Chains A and B, each alone.
Chain A
């Protein structure tokens, strides 16, 4: 059976979501081609900069996922989402509500509120959040289509700093868990996929690489490797060694 990534009823072959915030637009095409990404996120505040021509910059067959970057509370996120819809970006909206200019950590409370308000307006909300189980449940109940926990502070390339908490979300939440922000190396993306993340999003790790095309390829392969390992179910074998002499070998009857 073919392994598809299903997001709000839509099927994707690739589990790599490319962020574009730190990209030269001319390089997006190359990265998309070599990373095999089918979804690209883009801040509306950047969409805004192309006078409606942004779709010309996005390769054919790519789903654009606008985000509400710049919103400081739920109300602002809703206003930005409406602007994105008016600009022709569709119903998908990645919710980013940030009230801190230093670490750019998402505000879970406002994000959950925004989720509900946007779902009520017919959007498909994909909340970027700090991996907290209760907040994730609130977002699910509010109508989220996936949960996007951060691995580490955005742009930090620190990898899966929140690994144990993302693992809990993967176990407890029935929606796709997309690991977003902080992934710095292909090995970290692979690790996230191995533990059952539905997809990984990266931007800075590729944008700041010495060779963008090669790094895009490396991420593609790492994500496929991690997904394959997850499906193969080898994780438990790696977790615990099995003793060669069984502890219960003495039992006779």
Chain B
């Protein structure tokens, strides 16, 4: 039976609207106008020679015309990464504290119609998990929940941030988008970095993938980073789930989004993530072929060359060999000791199922050793929390 879907472009009650900002609209309109087939090899060469890249240059680097120049892009990216980050590579671990979700995103293992084991750690459980992670030497944590305001309300996430603040120097959150005052509250609780994946910037495609729940509301998600910055967060991270839609357009939108927000809020620390689709539980059919490692690397190098000062995180969805090679070239941050199940850092068997299968389950020590083997320096923390 066909369910009545709500209008994905219309804000729900309680969702804050940024009346005075048009950044979301600008990103979408620039992405629509982006025609990657118009670029030539000369455009790519010019972009690679430019000292400071324009959004046009960025578009050229993401185009098919740039694919034969991947080696040159990697070289330029390596130089830029060295200039801006030296030999430093930051480390963090993500911690899933709950996997309840109210959304129906057809590609995701956590979606509310997927029959997986659901769990939510209580505060003691969060503390135990964090203690176990901190013992490995990790100093930065990224707290994740499934997107359920009911099961993981803002107070619950805030308390998790406060506990995290006791064990870690740097606390980030990757949870459902929220309003400015809620971000301000979480900032007070100790969080300073907010990651929101837009998944795809194509609202028509977005609508067909996010069938129900808060997440269905496209513009509310699109403006999450701006609300987070206004709430006092130090940094925000951007991503599209590459492969959901046309990855070149989505990557162009991600870069444009970061570029416009950085211009408007020059103090904000910008970073990128580069997830692409991986196989998920109970659904073997979704296995897109379109974003291969070659294309993924092209996108990552384009981000790096376009915004050389921005952070770039490489996810455990990628294999160890790929991750080790992009570190120092374009990636500046890498996760380690990752387990995406709920309670899996302390329990023999996790209480809740994974969101996705990871391809690199190496410990912090193992990842640090790989970084050192490349002549780079693992940095466990490069941040100071400034108390009120």
Contacts of A11 in B (CB 8 A): none
Inter-chain contact B262/A207, CB cutoff 8 Å? no
Enumerate chain A residues within 8 angstroms of B169, measured Cβ to Cβ.
48-49
- Is B384 a contact of A83 with CB atoms below 8 Å? yes
Any A CB within 8 A of the CB of B86: yes
CB distance from A204 to the nearest CB of B (A): 6
| CB proximity to B under 8 Å, residues A85-104 | 98-104
**Binding-face segment, B57-65, B112-120, B372-380:** B372-380
Q: How many residues of A contact B (CB 8 A)?
A: 33
Check A22 for interface membership: any CB of B closer than 8 A.
yes
In-complex Cβ contact of A101 among B83, B269, B381, B382 (8 A): B269
A23 to B84, CA, bound (A): 12
B382: chain A residues within 8 A (beta carbon)? 43, 45-46, 49
Q: Pick the most buried of B83, B307, B387: most chain A CB atoms within 10 A of its CB.
A: B83
Q: Tell whether, in the assembled complex, residue A24 and residue B267 are in contact, meaning their CB atoms are under 8 Å apart.
A: no
B279 within 8 A of partner (CB): no
B266, B267, B270, B381: the one within 8 Å of A45 (CB): B381
B266 in contact with A99 (CB, 8 Å): yes
CB distance A99 to B267 under 8 Å?
yes
B83 and A155 form a contact (CB under 8 A): yes
| Complex Cα spacing A244 to B172, Å | 71
Residues of B within 8 A of A23 (CB): 86-87, 377
Which residues between 285 and 329 of chain B lie within 8 Å of chain A, taking CB atoms?
A: 307, 309
Complex: A25 Cα to B380 Cα, angstroms: 13
Interface string of B81-107 (1 = CB under 8 A from A): 011111110000000000000000000
Contact with B along A67-82 (1 / 0, CB 8 A): 0001110001001100
Q: What is the bound-complex CA distance between A2 and B278, given in angstroms?
A: 67
Asked whether B83 lies within 8 Å of A204 as measured between CB atoms, the reply is yes
Q: Is the CB of B309 within 8 A of A79?
A: no
Let me know if B268 is at the binding interface, CB within 8 A.
Answer: yes
Residue of A nearest to B263 (CB): A102
Pick from B87, B139, B267, B380: contact of A207, CB under 8 Å: B87
B386 sits at the interface (CB 8 A): yes
CB–CB A45/B309 < 8 A: no
Cα–Cα, bound, A9→B279 (Å):
65
Name the B residues within 8 Å of A43 (CB-CB): 382
A70 to B193 alpha-carbon distance, docked (Å): 14
Name the residue of chain B whose CB is nearest to the CB of A98.
B267
Closest to A43 in B: B382
- Which chain A residue shows the least CB distance to B259? A102
Nearest A residue to B270 via CB reads A101
CA distance A229 to B377 in the complex (A): 38
Does chain B have a CB within 8 A of A156?
A: yes
Instruction: Decide if A111 is an interface residue (CB 8 Å cutoff).
Output: no
Q: Is the CB of A101 within 8 A of B87?
A: no
Query: Would you give the shortest CB distance from B258 to chain A, in whole angstroms?
Result: 10
Known: A22-B88, A49-B139, A99-B266. A157 touches B83 (CB 8 A): yes
Residues of B within 8 A of A83 (CB): 384
Structural contact, A79 and B266, CB atoms closer than 8 A: no
Q: Give the complex CA separation of A70 and B192 in angstroms.
A: 12
Q: Please tell me if the beta carbons of B379 and A49 are within 8 angstroms of each other in the complex.
A: yes
Tell me the complex Cα distance, A179–B370, Å: 36
Contacts of A53 in B (CB 8 A): none
Residue pair A208, B82 in contact (C-beta under 8 Å): yes
A52 on the interface (CB 8 Å rule)? no
Expressed in whole angstroms, the Cα–Cα distance for A100 and B82 within the complex equals: 20
Tell me which residues from 135 to 174 in chain A have a Cβ below 8 Å from any Cβ of chain B. Answer: 155-157
Nearest residue (CB) in A for B377 is A24
Rounded to whole angstroms, the CA-CA distance of A130 and B387 in the bound complex is 28
Given contacts A46-B379, A72-B267, A101-B309, 4 further A-B contacts (CB under 8 A): A24-B375, A24-B376, A49-B169, A204-B86
Residues of chain A at the chain B interface (Cβ within 8 Å): 21-26, 43-46, 48-49, 70-72, 76, 79-80, 83, 98-104, 155-157, 203-204, 207-208
The 8 closest A-B pairs by CB, nearest first: A22-B86, A24-B377, A49-B381, A45-B384, A100-B266, A207-B86, A208-B82, A99-B267
List 14 contacting pairs A-B, 8 Å CB cutoff, sorted by A: A22-B86, A22-B87, A24-B375, A45-B384, A46-B381, A46-B382, A48-B383, A49-B380, A101-B266, A101-B268, A102-B262, A203-B86, A208-B83, A208-B86
Interface set of B (CB-CB < 8 Å, partner A) = 82-88, 139, 169, 262, 266-270, 307, 309, 375-377, 379-384, 386-387
